[in-house]
């Protein structure tokens, strides 16, 4: 591995390990119906926010970088990248503030540069309290955890579980749960269980740093109708989480029509060790990649 290739691999590694930080208030009280790729794009933007930022900057995103991270086919990446940004205008978030619900768009401005294949976005200033200068009561995770999640519900639930991992358990009334993750269209619990809950939990257990299980709460009647859910959440031990990370890398690399070099971090074990050691030197010296925060505050 040459010096230029090694530098690029370290950059890719750093991108995957950038940190997403959101207030628990927005994690638990915002409702939005974004696709999996749109959620990844939003988290990619949020990962660019520095812990020291007092105001939102203009964040420039490369379609190439996003495609590499998410395993998106490069054939139409620039066109699709622009369309994803445009779709946010039609998918404003509802956020509960006190007794009021406020509907707001995530981005107040977006500028597309066709020559560079990049988009510069400005985050809505009303989201400052949920994303900037967070002193406590926030959810934090490394971006790689959501890169291999295909279901939009998997990403949404992963964030909800991360917000409650310290409790190790979270309980929902069934109707509240469906409303929170925008799954109101599932009238039959059997369909919700198979198409949403079981699929999401399998993806989370397979490709993130969490291990989740759940039980149902049923009515004390002959119908035994499901009225609620109890989720048990544990964080994987360090070695198991590391193994999950490599499993995620492998899955992204093997997707059909993969972007050339996408998240193809290490060609050999020797290269892997070389790049990993380089990133450890950065961390050991207290020099985190720009835009990242400490992993566990």
pLDDT digit string, tens, across residues 178-195: 999 999 999 999 999 999
Q: How far apart are CA 10 and CA 21, in angstroms?
A: 22
Q: How far apart are CA 180 and CA 29, in angstroms?
A: 7
CB 150, CB 251: distance < 8 Å = no
**Global pTM value:** 0.79
Phi and psi at 202, nearest 5°, equal: -60, -45
Q: How far apart are CA 106 and CA 125, in angstroms?
A: 9
Per-residue pLDDT at 18: 84
Residues of the chain with pLDDT under 50: 1, 6-10, 13, 256-297
Q: Is 115 exposed, middle or buried (0-12, 13-18, 19+ CB in 10 A)?
A: exposed
Q: What tokens does 68 get? A: 């590499």
Q: What is the distance of C-alpha 285 from the center of its chain?
A: 27
Per-residue pLDDT at 254: 62
CB 244, CB 236: distance < 8 Å = yes
> CA 164, 36, 84: angle at the middle one, nearest 5?
130
Per-residue pLDDT at 91: 80
Fold of 18-250: Arc Repressor Mutant, subunit A (1.10.10)
């Amino acid at each position: 591995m040459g010096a230029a290739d090694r530098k690029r691999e370290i950059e890719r590694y750093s991108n995957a390990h950038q940190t997403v930080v959101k207030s628990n208030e927005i994690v638990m009280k915002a409702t939005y119906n974004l696709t999996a790729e749109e959620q990844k794009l939003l988290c990619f933007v949020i990962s660019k926010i520095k812990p020291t930022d007092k105001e939102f900057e203009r964040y420039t995103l490369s379609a190439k970088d996003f495609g590499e991270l998410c395993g998106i086919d490069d054939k139409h990446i620039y066109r699709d990248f622009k369309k994803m940004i445009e779709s946010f205008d039609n998918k404003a978030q509802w956020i509960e503030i006190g007794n009021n619900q406020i509907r707001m768009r995530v981005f107040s401005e977006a500028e597309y540069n066709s020559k560079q294949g990049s988009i510069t976005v400005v985050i809505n200033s009303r989201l400052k309290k949920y994303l900037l200068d967070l002193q406590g009561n926030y959810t934090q995770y490394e971006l790689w955890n959501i890169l291999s999640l295909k279901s939009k519900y998997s990403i949404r639930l992963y964030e909800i579980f991360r917000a409650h991992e310290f409790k190790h358990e979270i309980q929902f009334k069934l109707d509240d749960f469906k409303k929170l993750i925008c799954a109101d269209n599932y009238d039959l619990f059997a369909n919700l269980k198979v198409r949403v809950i079981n699929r999401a939990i399998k993806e989370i257990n397979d490709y993130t740093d969490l291990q989740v299980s759940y039980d149902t709460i049923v009515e004390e009647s002959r119908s035994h109708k499901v009225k609620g859910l109890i989720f048990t959440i544990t964080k994987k031990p360090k070695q198991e989480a590391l193994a999950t990370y490599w499993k995620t890398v492998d899955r992204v690399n093997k997707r059909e029509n993969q972007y050339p070099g996408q998240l193809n971090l290490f060609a050999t074990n020797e290269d892997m060790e070389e790049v990993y050691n380089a990133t450890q030197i950065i961390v050991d010296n207290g020099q985190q990649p720009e835009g990242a925060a400490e992993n566990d505050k």
